[in-house]
Chains A and B, each alone.
Chain A
Amino acid sequence: MSWFTLRFFREVVKPRYEFNEFVKQSYLIGYKSFPLIAITGLILGFVMTIQSRPTLAEFGAVSWLPAMVSVSIVRELGPTIFALIFAGKVGSGIGAELASMKVTEQIDAMEVSGMNPYKYIVVTRVLATTLMLPLLVIVGDAISLFGAYMAVNLKGAVSFHLFFLQVFQSLDFSDVFPAVIKTFFFGFAIGLISCFKGYNSTNGTEGVGVAANSSVVLGSLSIFIIDMIAVQITSMLYS
């Protein structure tokens, strides 16, 4: 795995650059994941707000609802949940696709035609996951906050302007910036692990299932590990 990772950094800077394939993968990985992230985001914000309301009401702090929900979503829940969904959808897809290519000798075919399959297949996908996940998380967070706004208005009447004014007043740089930065690492880990599992798959068609499954499991686990490290670093920097 460490050799595979080192090779990524070596190949990513070396020409030739597979720009067309990168754009294609960004479309497949990013744009095609948008509906799932949007629906999940809307439900996340909606449910989170409804669940939090009774507790805040007990302390007479319902007016804090937009602030509390926005900080929870932007700092932690949004990046982690969207990354987990991304690992499930994209990670399994990449793992299975690459393993199938391996089984059907498509990767070997690229190699014997004098191409560099690692560059064409792995580098483009890892770059796409690294750059697309942060975008999806930003959009997903925004949709979650809209879901929260809808939920707030189920039992009260808060204007769109007032709700988002409270949201932006409660968020500062230290909430948004580290949360976005860590999603680059989430995306990188998901892409790299699933490519590694697919690219090195063995045992024929059985290996395809194993590659897809382990891509999701290890990708999800890596999200929690990176998150734990990121939280430690953030709290050290901003405490």
Chain B
Amino acid sequence: MKMETTVAEITHLRKSFGNNHVLNDINFKIEKGENLVVLGKSGSGKSVLIKCLVGLLELDGGDVILFGENISGLKERELNLLRKKVGFLFQSAALYDSMSVRENLEFPLRDLKSKPKEEIDALVMEALKNVGLENAIDKMPSELSGGMRKRIGLARTLILKPEIILYDEPTTGLDPITSQEISQLILDVQKKYNTASIIITHDTECARITANQMIIIKEGLVVAKGTFKEISESKDEWISSFFNKWKE
């Protein structure tokens, strides 16, 4: 029997906001355990792309197949069930301000009421241990630095053991050392849980560390596909401008 390894498949995806055609014809797929980096300039529609993937934005055309199901045809309840298998790390980490770190991490587990408190506590501690922030458990989000917020956001994403994680600009706004730590963390998560990841970024250092495959988006189209090495050695002037620092 053939093992089903494709986690997500996007075909002819289109999305516009009024006359602004952000995504024109996006096609790619991602396999289990693979890190796919989506590179593009700011405003090129990268974040719109992953919001379409989880149904936060409605598609204008094309298909998003997640775990073999076309999300456009799903009812709200079915989509919510599917979303439990998808982790999403927002650019701002999107921690719930009114809740402590512990409550933030417990929030996605609220549907698992049958689980005893000890088991929930163990899951919370495991997620915090994965990101190296066990001591922050009783802190409020306002007490955390930018890097810590990202890590806690990732811990909250990991707690449901998703099969695919979508990272929206995971290193934006962080210093180079913290950026490298976050990129390494993405790699560690991939190795430990064998998750697929789509990493939206314009940080080529993050792409270099994390990418198994890369695509580059320009004017709503995928203009390049390949490994980091293949793309960074591209002869195309526009594409190679992303990688100037690697050539110096």
Q: List residues of chain A with CB under 8 Å of any chain B CB.
A: 100-101, 104-106, 108-116
Contact = CB atoms under 8 A, between A and B. Distances in A.
Contacts of B90: 105, 108-109
Given A108-B56, A109-B88, A114 B80 contact: yes
Contact of B107 (A104, A112, A113, A116): A113
B92 A115 contact: no
A142 B86 CA distance: 53
Query: Chain A binding site: helix, strand, loop or mixed by DSSP?
Result: helix
Contacts of B80: 114-116
B56 A106 contact: no
Nearest to A105: B94
Contacts of B94: 104-106, 108-109
Contacts of A105: 90-92, 94
Interface in B92-113: 92, 94-97, 107-108, 110-111
Nearest to B81: A114
A113 B88 CA distance: 8
Contacts of A104: 92, 94, 97
12 contacts: A101-B97, A104-B97, A106-B95, A108-B56, A108-B90, A109-B88, A109-B94, A110-B96, A110-B107, A113-B108, A113-B160, A114-B111
Nearest to B153: A109
A82 B202 CA distance: 53
Contacts, number: 49
Contact-residue bracket for chain B: 20 to 34
Contacts of B111: 114
A112 B160 CA distance: 12
A109 B108 CA distance: 10
A145 B221 CA distance: 70
B108 A115 contact: yes
Nearest to A24: B98
Contact of A112 (B81, B86, B95, B110): B86
A99 B95 CA distance: 15
B96 A115 contact: no
Contacts of B92: 104-105
A200 to B, nearest CB: 15
A106 B108 contact: no
Given A112-B56, A113-B107, A106 B84 contact: no
A112 B96 contact: no
Given A108-B56, A114-B81, A115-B108, 20 more contacts: A100-B97, A101-B97, A104-B94, A105-B92, A105-B94, A106-B95, A108-B51, A108-B90, A108-B94, A109-B90, A109-B94, A110-B96, A111-B56, A112-B56, A112-B83, A113-B107, A113-B156, A114-B80, A114-B84, A115-B107
Contact of A113 (B51, B83, B97): B83
B54 interface: yes
Contacts of A114: 80-81, 83-84, 108, 111
